Each structure stands twice: as C-alpha cells, then as structure tokens.
A = this chain, B = another copy of it.
Amino acid sequence: MTVTPDTDSTPARGKRPKQGEPVIDRALSLLAVFSDRRRALTLSELARHAGMPAPTALRLIARLVAWGALERLDDGRYVVGVRLWEVASLSPRGHGVREIALPYLEDLFEVTRHHVLLAVRDNEEAVLIERLSSKDATEVAYRVGGRAPLRSTAVGLVLLAGADQQFQEATLRKPPEHEPGVEHMPEGQLRRTLSDVRRTGIAMIRRSAPSKTVSVASPIFDAQGSVVAALSIVVPDGSTPPNVLAPAVRATARAVSRNLGYLAEVSPDVRTHSEG
C-alpha cells in the first residue's frame, strides 16, 4: 500500500476541507473538473467536484473567465475558453507534432479512408493528439484529447516500447488494467512484443469492442532519436490485412520523423532482411 506523507496526525475531516492548498492548485483543479462528459458546468457543480466552497470557486472562476481560460454561456454554465485552447496550441507535444504530422496523416487517410491516429505519451497513458476519420467510419474507442492505456492499444505499445528502460520496467511491474475488448497479454509475451515493436517498427492490436478492429501503429522519432509520438491506422477486422497496412503506416511515420529532423539510421536488420 502506498503511503502519502501525512504531516497531520488527524484526518481532520469535515472542518477543513482543502485549506492551505495553493491557490493555483485550486484553480487548476477547477479546470480538471472538465472532461469529455462534463464540458459545460454550473458554479455549484464545479465547486462540488473540485471540493471547495461555492464562494471560493466563484472567485477563482471569475479570474479564469476574465482571462479567457473559461467562458460563460448564456445559461450561466461555464465551458473551457478559446484563449486557453489558443495557448495550449503552443504545446510542442500537443499541436507541435500534430502540425508537422498532419499533412502526412492526411495522405495516409486519403489513400486508406480509415481512421488515422496520432498519440503521444503522458506519464502512464497515451494521449490522442489527432484523429482523422471519415463520416462513415467504424466506431472507434478514443477521441482527440482523450487518453488510452499503453498496454492495450497499438499506439500505446509503440510509445511504451520507445520509452526509457526504467519507465518500461516500472510499467511492466504494475498490475494491468483490464481493457474491455482487448485480449490480455501476460508479461512474458508483452516483453517479447515490445522487443518486436522496437525491431520491426510496427505494433498491432486486435479489438473486439466497441467494434471488431485491427490497429497497426508505428513510432515517430525526433532529431535526437527518441520516440515522441505514435501513428496508427484502425481498420475493421477482416478488411485490409495488417501486413498490407504496415508498410504504409511505417512509411508515413518515417516521413514525419524525417520532417522532425530524424536521420533514419540505415539499420543492417532492415537492409538485409528483405521482409521489411
């Protein structure tokens, strides 16, 4: 069991909820209340979920609104503002890679007409940076801005395989979260898979829910040779075979990597083995 350093001996429940917490943390906890299912919230909802009295929440929110981090709707509810979105668009790992990758993703999308995903790793999850989908594409589990587990998605495996050794070990030691629709992988197999991903530059995952799909992902490298993002394509199971998709996905990923300043090393492995 993890132990948080408790300076206070008594729980002190009820009387002092979150007193003493830095103001910024409180303000940020207000932002954190927003989620996919909670995009427009009232003052009391925000106060309740952030765990602070309404007057306090109101005061903080007023500052956030004044700056543009939040916006107030006609009905009095609050939503995340364009100004915040604007600043966030300067995030190198957010819009940064996206900006460079988008034209290439489009080419891949145009050719295949299937979901094309771009993701980066944030701590122990993958964050979906971009998703191109046609209007009539198969259902897909994740939305842009959402998070996906590392161990049970194709982009996740790529990002995990590309993470530093220390992080990988820590992740492998943790008990896996069970993702519905994805077959669980025991540790041994997972290790082998990650090794394969590093060698081949391709990860593959089959899902049965929310719909039967196959995902094929490939890593994107920066100039330092680190894996900064993962690109994948999601197709209905039984349509285009994965081994046909793999070259296209890998080629696209490499094109993006090159644009990020990555000088593809001529790997003896790839050169001699005609399989590619």
A contacts, CB < 8 Å to B: 22-25, 27-28, 31-32, 34-36, 39-40, 60, 63-64, 66-69, 71, 79-96, 99, 102-104, 106-107, 109-110, 120, 122, 127, 132-135, 143-145, 147
Contacts and interface: CB of A to CB of B under 8 A. Distances in A.
A166 to B, nearest CB: 15
Contacts of A81: 91, 93
Contact of A60 (B24, B71, B92): B24
Contacts of A25: 63, 66-67
Contact of A96 (B39, B83, B88, B96): B39
Q: A-B pairs with the 5 shortest C-beta distances?
A: A89-B145, A85-B94, A88-B88, A80-B91, A85-B88
A64 B29 CA distance: 11
Nearest to A29: B67
B27 A99 contact: no
A64 B12 CA distance: 27
Given A24-B63, A84-B91, A88-B88, 13 more contacts: A25-B63, A28-B69, A31-B87, A35-B90, A79-B90, A80-B88, A82-B91, A82-B94, A86-B145, A90-B145, A95-B144, A99-B144, A103-B134
Contacts of A82: 91, 93-94, 120, 122, 127
A7 B69 CA distance: 27
A25 B64 CA distance: 8
A24 B96 CA distance: 26
B36 A87 contact: no
Contacts of A107: 135
Contacts of A93: 71, 79, 81-82, 85
20 contacts: A22-B23, A24-B24, A24-B63, A24-B64, A27-B27, A32-B87, A34-B90, A36-B90, A39-B90, A82-B122, A82-B127, A84-B87, A85-B127, A86-B122, A88-B88, A90-B145, A103-B133, A106-B106, A106-B109, A107-B135
